[in-house]
Amino acid sequence: MTRGRRYRIIYVPGHPAMQYHIARTGHDFFILAHWDQFACWRPRPANVHSLLPAFEPAHLDYGVADFQRLLAGGKAFGFPEDYDLAWSMWNEQYKVFAPFSGIRKVHRVAKYAELEPADYDRILSQPEAYALASYYRYTVDEIEARFGVRVPLIELGVSPEDYGEWTGEEPVILSVIHSWAERGWHHETYRAATEGLPTRHVDHMHPGPEGPLRYDQVIDLMRRCRVYYHDGENEYTVALIEAMMVGAPIVTCAMPYVERHVQHGVNGFVSDDPAELREHCRALLEDADLAARMGAASRRLALERYSEQRWVDDWNRLFDDFTAGRDVYGRSRGAGP
């Protein structure tokens, strides 16, 4: 799915879904880990290559210093000469690559608070060394408000062919969020809103007796559920976009920018009141026709805004511009943040 040049991109392990979806750009990705660490989360794309020979439980405890030691240790992985780009998606990953000057770095920031102001200053003032993008509109807006730079917004895109075929045959409220209770968010609101209603929650970090579900099993649950219940810190999650592309109706707590993705009364319902959320869930559980109409709207919105081809094109444009020496923020070269 690449256009033009095919890049060799190294990265350290992070969000399993993001690792999978960025690989759909078709470039050669080299993970400083072994993919078996993520096998239950996503299947390994053929263009992702493990740099470690096997997964060991000790790898789960690796921190910044451990990954830097691997990269600096006798050039065992051909770093940095054998790679065109280093890609990172969390603040800890950004720190891993920061000391190495011999490679261009692309960082995808999600939440604004993931980086310190000094980090933003460093990244935005070195457009020849760093390229920054986000997949949250609120983060893009916050960076612009604070630093006067509009970084590229690259919202997630998924393959229409890999999803779809929603049936809603099971009158159940599905949620897919790991460590939900520990992370907080609106978990207590969810519990109050769904008490006594049929629910199914998937958590890879705290699986049930059947163990962690495979990726295809989770998507199958999305296809069969009557309602997908979304929660997060802001906007959207990978699972929300997947549920929309499947064609499921959505119920979500109110949060910043969420109505860009869930349009109240169109492809689902948005509220911060547990009683209202409960009634919305009940309505969809009891009215299959309503659920089907809203599910069709979810699929339509996903096809319009979250297609994988748009995601691939956005990333490839950034990779091409960055490696060609063009400022990815649309500034003239030499302009500061």
Average pLDDT over residues 64-89: 91
Number of domains in the chain: 2
Average pLDDT over residues 243-257: 96
**What 3-state DSSP class applies to 240?**
helix
In this structure, are 274 and 191 located in the same domain?
yes
In this structure, are 30 and 79 located in the same domain?
yes
The confidence band for 73, taking pLDDT boundaries of 50, 70 and 90, is confident
Maximum pairwise Cα distance, the chain: 63
pLDDT over threshold 70, residue 17: yes
Q: Is residue 276 in a domain? A: yes
Q: What is the pLDDT of residues 182-198, one digit of tens each?
A: 898 999 999 999 999 99
Tell me the residue type at 51.
L
pLDDT more than 90, % of the chain: 82
Q: Which of 62-66, 81-85, 181-185 has the lowest mean pLDDT?
A: 181-185
What's the mean pLDDT when you consider all of the chain?
93
Q: What is the pLDDT of residues 312-324, one digit of tens each?
A: 999 999 999 999 9
In this structure, are 103 and 185 located in the same domain?
no
Average pLDDT over residues 298-323: 96
What's residue 332's pLDDT? 53
In this structure, are 76 and 182 located in the same domain?
no
pLDDT over threshold 80, residue 143: yes
pLDDT over threshold 60, residue 278: yes
Q: Is residue 337 in a domain? A: no
Average pLDDT over residues 56-74: 91
Q: Is residue 328 in a domain? A: no
In this structure, are 189 and 260 located in the same domain?
yes
Alpha carbon 247 to chain centroid distance? 19
Q: Can you tell me the distance from the alpha carbon of 79 to that of 217, in angstroms, rounded to the nearest whole number? A: 37
Average pLDDT over residues 147-164: 95
pLDDT over threshold 70, residue 2: no
Q: What CATH number has the domain bearing residue 28?
A: 3.40.50.2000
In this structure, are 185 and 295 located in the same domain?
yes
- Tell whether omega for the bond before 80 is within 30 degrees of 0, i.e. cis: yes
**Closest by Cα among 201, 155, 288, 306 to 245:** 306
In this structure, are 14 and 153 located in the same domain?
yes
In this structure, are 67 and 104 located in the same domain?
yes
In this structure, are 81 and 186 located in the same domain?
no
- Domain of residue 286, residue span: 160-305
Contact (Cβ atoms closer than 8 angstroms) between residue 183 and residue 175: no
Using a cut of 0.75, tell me whether the model's pTM lies above it: yes
In this structure, are 184 and 265 located in the same domain?
yes
Q: Is residue 3 in a domain? A: no
Q: Is residue 333 in a domain? A: no
Alpha carbon 211 to chain centroid distance? 23
Q: Is residue 316 in a domain? A: yes
**Closest by Cα among 44, 133, 60 to 94:** 133
Q: Can you tell me the distance from the alpha carbon of 151 to that of 108, in angstroms, rounded to the nearest whole number? A: 10
Q: Is residue 330 in a domain? A: no
In this structure, are 105 and 13 located in the same domain?
yes
What's residue 42's pLDDT? 84
Q: Is residue 145 in a domain? A: yes
**What 3-state DSSP class applies to 64?**
helix
Length of the chain: 337
Element (H, E) at 135: none
Tell me the H-state helices in the chain. 16-23, 64-72, 91-97, 117-124, 137-147, 180-183, 187-194, 215-224, 238-246, 274-286, 288-305, 308-323
pLDDT over threshold 60, residue 333: no
Would you state the structure tokens that stand for residue 193, as one six-digit string? 């809103």
Would you state the structure tokens that stand for residue 220, as one six-digit string? 């199958």
Average pLDDT over residues 268-279: 98
Q: What is the pLDDT of residues 97-112, one digit of tens each?
A: 999 999 999 999 999 9
**What 3-state DSSP class applies to 17?**
helix
In this structure, are 193 and 286 located in the same domain?
yes
What's residue 3's pLDDT? 58
Q: Can you tell me the distance from the alpha carbon of 74 to that of 293, in angstroms, rounded to the nearest whole number? A: 59
Q: What is the DSSP letter of 58?
A: G
